[in-house]
Amino acid sequence: MWKTILRRVLMMIPQMFVLSLFIFILAKQMPGDPFTGLITPETDPSRIEELRIQAGFYDPWYVQYYHWITNALQGDFGQSYTYKIAVSTLIGERGLNTFWLSLLSAILVYLIAIPLGMLAGRYQESFLDKSIILYSFISYAIPTFVLSLIFLFIFGYRLMWFPTSGTVDVGLEPGTTAYYWNKIYHLLLPAITYAILGTTSIIQYLRSEIIDSKTQDYVKTARSKGIPMRKVYTRHIFRNSLLPIAAFLGFTITGLLGGAIFIETIFGFPGMGNLFVSSVMSRDYSVITALVMLFGFLTLLGSLLSDIIMSIVDPRIRID
């Protein structure tokens, strides 16, 4: 078990290496350089040249890559040219926002998906089941940005139930209860949107798992012992079907990351996805490379996590 996990982790190293090389070369090809933004009529051209030389702009690319990767391994991704602070500080700040959003979304995903999946499986072929299947189909087919915009329009602008951007209202004292409630309040609409989009696979998996369980011997045994069907569902079948659902956690994380770019941009939420879009716009490539690396790493980690949970839950599945 530990051996296979270790092997998987070691396999991530060449993958991350190729990704880093790939993204570094891409970032170097981006038109303009970060200093073009600094040029004003008063700037001395020689000063810009000096800055370029200082930043190693004219070194061969492998030298630049070597500097970048050795620093990156120590957590130093350089300086953001637009925000004038260290990239790691910037991403840490934004990442924390994305983390809270993802956490709330993941909780909501499971809160929505588990009851729906259970009900659909239990009342198979009923009207309820068909409505749940329809819901999960729509949430599968609808593009993230369309749902987000429609929700923002209806609940944010028309009904005014939720704030339309930001993480917290101005003028609230940090640390107070009101402050934290206000933060959660800001998180709610994007998190609900996220959660609705993320439920499909869990509902479908849970539903078919429960339908399969119905004919299992342990259910018959429980029934013949005289346990009411309601209890068989809530105790026996539920517990057996729930474990594999845990394995979806990894996929949920990966899915959340993919949606972050759209959701954060639309809801004006200052997280990593939003940061990525604005960095690409302003050619802030130290931030871009760091974010792509981080997302690539987290995607790998998510699928590894799923595989590990799966093999713990179901020993028949061995990862290799």
CA distance 15 to 214: 42
Using the structure block, give the residue that is written with the tokens 């190293």.
13
291 belongs to the binding site for other proteins (CB under 8 A): yes
CB of 32 to other proteins, least distance (A): 10
Which residue of 164, 182, 240, 278 would you call a contact of other proteins, by CB under 8 A? 164
31 belongs to the binding site for other proteins (CB under 8 A): yes
Site for other proteins in 206-265 (CB under 8 A): 257-258, 261-262, 265
Q: Do the beta carbons of residue 264 and residue 211 sit within 8 Å?
A: no
145 belongs to the binding site for other proteins (CB under 8 A): yes
132 belongs to the binding site for other proteins (CB under 8 A): no
Of 117, 100, 291, nearest to 198 (Cα)? Answer: 117
Which residue of 95, 253, 295, 307 would you call a contact of other proteins, by CB under 8 A? 295
CB of 287 to other proteins, least distance (A): 12
Q: Residue 161 has which token pair?
A: 């139930």
Beta carbons within 8 Å of 39's beta carbon, 6+ residues apart: 48
DSSP labels for 278-313?
A: HHHHTT-HHHHHHHHHHHHHHHHHHHHHHHHHHHHH
296 belongs to the binding site for other proteins (CB under 8 A): yes
CB of 85 to other proteins, least distance (A): 22
> Which span sits near other proteins by CB under 8 A: 12-20, 78-86, 121-129, 194-202?
12-20
Helix 177-198 to helix 200-213 angle (10° resolution) is 60
Count of residues that interact with other proteins, criterion CB under 8 A: 46
CB of 254 to other proteins, least distance (A): 9
Which residue of 276, 286, 290, 309 would you call a contact of other proteins, by CB under 8 A? 276
Nearer to other proteins, 277 or 317 (CB): 277
The neighbour count for residue 50, using CB atoms within 10 Å, is 11
Q: Residue 135 has which token pair?
A: 């819901």
Which residue of 43, 143, 161, 176 would you call a contact of other proteins, by CB under 8 A? 143
Site for other proteins in 297-316 (CB under 8 A): 299-300, 303
DSSP state letter for 31? S
Burial classification of residue 35, based on how many CB atoms lie within 10 Å of its CB (0-12 exposed, 13-18 middle, 19 or more buried)? middle
Q: Do the beta carbons of residue 253 and residue 302 sit within 8 Å?
A: yes
Helix 2-28 to helix 285-313 angle (10° resolution) is 160
Q: Please give the residue ranges that form the binding site for other proteins (CB under 8 A).
A: 15, 18-19, 22-23, 26-27, 29-31, 137-138, 140-146, 149-150, 152-153, 157-158, 164-165, 257-258, 261-262, 265-266, 276-277, 280-281, 283, 288, 291-292, 295-296, 299-300, 303
